[in-house]
Structure 1
């Protein structure tokens, strides 16, 4: 299972003692923290959200923190460069992602300025928490198409669908929504399963989309107390779990298959994009089926 680190730099989670430290002291501490964490976990984590939610970072006003003042005084792009350069210095082989929930043109401008400034970004993270209901294929794909213009892989980093009552649309900051109980319901579970299937199918087929991370496996301890997992709090699977299992392990997973060559010693492989190994006896060779490629190159195996 591939492990991802989230995130290295953010303005919301920090030790309390950092609040008493000024910008001139926060910056070297932050640099050291990024380097140490990436280096310490280099044997486990090769994929990181390097910096999270930079659009709002310099002007965040929903709680005091030590990062927002640093971003305001040094500049947003200064923090982005800090995160990526310190992280890459600690592990040059890792993949580092910029991530945000603000998918407006403001985020596009942030990315454009960073790239123009020479920051090496490996992938673009797009959050899609949909506690207020599925935005639909047309809206989500239009967002993906906008960010695909950068030519970088897109990671749908935080996908959420609830299986209970939907959050009211008038809530602007999802963190402001508080209820005593938010149970999963049969009707909500059916809606969640349908929404997840539509969402995954549409994004799986998009050539710019590299990965999709579902945000929260279980309802137990879920963000905002929402019934957003694909299993219930007691561990029993919801219909959405069955949908994902059917799609991933059924339609999109190529199981080990034994085939016979033709008279010329050739085999035909039909499968989804990904990594494959063909083996005969003790000999084996790896090959790739690329996204958006209908036919793959020929590989030779000498037994």
Structure 2
């Protein structure tokens, strides 16, 4: 198996019968069931299917055939558009659907100044803070055990200065961030979420990968905020930025000694957005089609990007931002499937990596006299099967002691 060295684990297994005697000179089958590395995508498109509102079986099959980690939407303004009426039951149903299929989940985001609840804006800051804390605690508590990873705060680097007042009412979350300061709003998010679920994995997340974001992280850590991982966004609607760019960003943020999650990444399979556009949201076109040439470019760049990111030891997950062009962010052709559901070359290229080159398919092996066998592959969850008996184990670092598998 050819793979990326920071991801490889090796283990010596001792396979025994139920009574503890070695399963000597016996044929078994070893297969991988999930990567330790998170290969993710947004799960937004599958919520209607998970809730029984629409039959999207083909889309679900393609999603589950490639990804093992899903991001679910908790944008305050959409999750609770009317005060006191959150969409909890529906999202719980969707979360259970994913978990039942072995998918890890992350909630996105708990605190963000965009797509926030408009009914909060006219309220005084002290009430906004109480409501925001209550919202964080509610979501983290209600979904504990299903969603234990959260983008605790999103895009705080620009949050205090964000200016978006379409209704003439100042943005309440940005206002609170200005009053508390970047460190204060980060503390609010992390401490409230941590109190609601002490075992949660909490991320700070941003698209601004400049020194400004580094300062936010530095100051939060210095203030004692327990950040579990750093989220880095990299939407590439204006073109692939290249392996050197990816490595430079990963190297720079790796200095904090925390896992790096590539939380949002995308590549276009059609015409590229003009380079003079500063805010991607400002680019609005009537139609943005995928093209054959663009699809080939997307597939090539996608493979290069995944190989570069997976090779970096600090990176622990990659979440591609959308599986289909149908309803894709900004209307851009960034999906791995066309709007009609057919697969682009990028889907097949990524599947050849994740479920091919970087995956151990069911493989026959034979134990020795002591019931031993050696496994090497990408770290993650594996299964050993002998006849009708099977057991799962975690493949970790090569230095781990022998693992006894009792069938």
8 A contact 2:207–2:234 mirrored in 1: yes
Q: Deviations for 1:197-246, whole angstroms, at most 9, x for unmatched residues?
A: 00001111211111000001111111111011111111111111111111
2:158 matched to 1:56? yes
Structure of higher RCO (CA pairs closer than 8 Å, 6+ residues apart): 2
Residue 11 of structure 1 corresponds to: 113
Structure 1 residues 241 and 283 mapped into 2: Cα distance closer, same or farther (>3 Å)? closer
- Structure 1 residue 173, shift from structure 2 partner: 0.7
Query: Would you say the 8 A contact 1:287–1:299 is kept in 2?
Result: no
The corresponding residue for 1:208 is 314
Q: Could you say which residue in structure 1 is the equivalent of 2:194?
A: 88
Q: Which runs of 5+ in 1 are unaligned?
A: none
Which residue in the other structure is 1:145 paired with? 251
For 2:195, what is the secondary structure of its paired residue?
helix
SS at match of 1:134: coil
Give the equivalent residue in structure 2 for 1:237.
343
Q: 1:181: Cα distance to partner?
A: 0.9
In 2, Cα distance between equivalents of 1:240 and 1:301: 38
Are 1:180 and 2:282 an aligned pair?
no
Measured against aligned partners, the alpha-carbon deviations of 1:34-91 in whole angstroms (never above 9, x if no partner) come to: 0001111113211110000010000112444211111111111111011011111111
Partner in structure 1 of residue 129 of structure 2: 27
Is 1:71 the counterpart of 2:177 in the alignment? yes
**Residues in 1 aligned to 2:390 and 2:307: alpha-carbon distance in whole angstroms:** 36
Would the aligned equivalents of 2:155 and 2:206 in 1 still touch at CA under 8 Å?
Answer: yes
The structure with more strand, counted as a fraction of residues: 2
How many aligned residue pairs are there? 300
2-side partners of 1:198 and 1:58: how far apart?
Answer: 36
With the length of structure 2 as denominator, give the TM-score of the two structures. Answer: 0.71
Cα gap change, 1:284/1:223 in structure 2, threshold over 3 Å: closer, same or farther? closer
Other-structure match for 2:90: none
1:1-303 correspondence runs (5 A): 1-63=103-165, 64-278=170-384, 284=391, 286-290=393-397, 296-301=400-405
In the TM superposition, residue 176 of structure 1 has moved relative to its aligned partner by 0.8
Secondary structure of 1:271's aligned partner? strand
CA drift of 1:109 comes to 1.1
Give the whole-Å Cα distance in 2 for the aligned partners of 1:174 and 1:115: 30
In the alignment, the residues of structure 2 paired with residue 204 and residue 235 of structure 1 have an alpha-carbon distance, to the nearest angstrom, of 27
Consecutive unaligned residues of structure 2, counting only runs of 5 or more, are 1-102
